[in-house]
Amino acid sequence: MLQELGNVKAKYDKLTALLSDSDIVSDPNKVKNLSKERAELEPIVKAYISFLNTHKSIKGSREIIDDPDAEEELKELAEEELQELGKELEKITKELKVLLLPKDPNDEKNVFLEIRAGAGGDEASLFAQDLFRMYSRLAEKKGWKKEIMSTSSSSIKGFKEIIVNIRGNRVYSKLKYESGVHRVQRVPQTETSGRIHTSTVTVAVLPEAEDVDIKLDPKDLRIEAFSSSGPGGQSVNRTYSAIRVTHEPSGLVVSCQDEKSQHRNKDKALRILRTRLLDIAQKEQQKEISQNRKSQVGTGERSEKIRTYNFSQSRVTDHRLNLTLHKLENILDGDLDEIIDTLTMHFQSQMMGEGRENLV
């Protein structure tokens, strides 16, 4: 790892030198790309320099302690300093391990957030609406922008399905661990006897594909226009503005009807289709997660939960972390930072592995 850090430092120094080169400075695009690459390495280099300085200080303290001619008072000070430096070195070592983890190339991307009612009928559709509001509030707090791509409402104004495009700074890095089955335990509004029901909603977070990621061949697409409809199938307009796109090679079908413009619905459908195709391609490339798109959310059965929202006890439990928080109302209002940060640390620790050797 020390050799790896040395290589990173050498690359950082080379980029710094290049950014002072007159030929580079005259090319704005090169400056932009090199500056971005250098900025990505800077946190690692700073931590590495702190590691080297701390290690040097530890060596100095040990030399004083081992010096037979050193005064006792000076040795005592060196002992105290050595304890503090040891703690500091441990902290920097952990930081470096995290910084050296392989970067997820999707972390910087925008996402398509897909929320679908699972087991539980109308109550599941109402909770799908609650989760949509939760993520919408989170987006507002983070300064992200959201665009509703497609909706399918239930008869009681919940969501059978809603697909939202969320754009902003490192959206995927924050939301990628939200994929899975979310379980709710509460008394439904329609329940007269006060019995607690259990329902589920599936959430899928897909990094948005760009044109360079997935090229769509028009020959592979079957595009159909139809009249959009509302809950229960009733027609909401007489024009054929809704669009259904079928990708013949994969069999994927995407429909959009929320916009009055056929062109806008087509554009949204193609963006969703491109993202789903990218998701499938990435999973095929990565053997450890070589499963189809449904594996991200399972079937929606109650036993496949990643998180439970219990209204009677005002608690939220994330089952991957064994973390329980008694602030349901705040979380449903978008206060997800504690859960998101803990999940990030949890999966980073898994990536590092318990047996990974120390830097010293």
Please say whether the beta carbons of 321 and 346 come within 8 A: yes
Report how far residue 221's alpha carbon sits from residue 270's, in angstroms, rounded to the nearest whole number: 10
Bridge partners of 256, per DSSP, are 243
- Mean pLDDT over all residues of the chain? 85
Structure tokens at 356: 């990974």
| Residue 60 CB contacts under 8 Å (≥ 6 apart), including other chains | none
Closest by Cα among 292, 328, 303 to 119: 303
DSSP codes of every residue in 309-359: EETTTTEEEETTTTEEES-HHHHHTT--HHHHHHHHHHHHHHHH-TTPPP-
The predicted-structure confidence for 189-198, as pLDDT tens digits, reads as follows 766 667 889 9
Which amino acid is located at 271 in the chain?
R
Report how far residue 163's alpha carbon sits from residue 171's, in angstroms, rounded to the nearest whole number: 15
Report how far residue 27's alpha carbon sits from residue 10's, in angstroms, rounded to the nearest whole number: 23
Structure tokens at 105: 């190339």
Give the count of beta carbons closer than 10 Å to the beta carbon of residue 161.
16
Report how far residue 55's alpha carbon sits from residue 88's, in angstroms, rounded to the nearest whole number: 10
Q: How far is CA 42 from CA 208, 242, 274, in A?
A: 27, 49, 34
Which amino acid is located at 239 in the chain?
T
Q: What is the largest CA-CA distance in the chain?
A: 97
Which amino acid is located at 51 in the chain?
F
The beta strands (E) that lie in the chain are given as: 111-117, 145-153, 159-167, 180-186, 197-207, 221-226, 242-247, 252-256, 305-310, 315-318, 323-325
Please say whether the beta carbons of 200 and 124 come within 8 A: yes
Give the count of beta carbons closer than 10 Å to the beta carbon of residue 250.
12
Residue-level pLDDT at 161: 93
Structure tokens at 200: 């589920």
Residue-level pLDDT at 288: 46
Report how far residue 118's alpha carbon sits from residue 300's, in angstroms, rounded to the nearest whole number: 5
Structure tokens at 44: 């690692």
Please say whether the beta carbons of 18 and 35 come within 8 A: no
Helix orientation angle between 72-99 and 28-66, rounded to the nearest 10 degrees:
150
Q: How far is CA 186 from CA 178, 183, 198, 279, in A?
A: 21, 10, 7, 34
Q: Positive or negative CA dihedral for 109, 204, 201, 175? A: negative
Q: Kindly report the pTM of this predicted structure.
A: 0.67
The predicted-structure confidence for 58-75, as pLDDT tens digits, reads as follows 999 999 999 888 888 998
Residue-level pLDDT at 238: 55
Report how far residue 188's alpha carbon sits from residue 186's, in angstroms, rounded to the nearest whole number: 6
Residues of the chain with pLDDT under 50: 232-236, 287-293, 302, 354-360
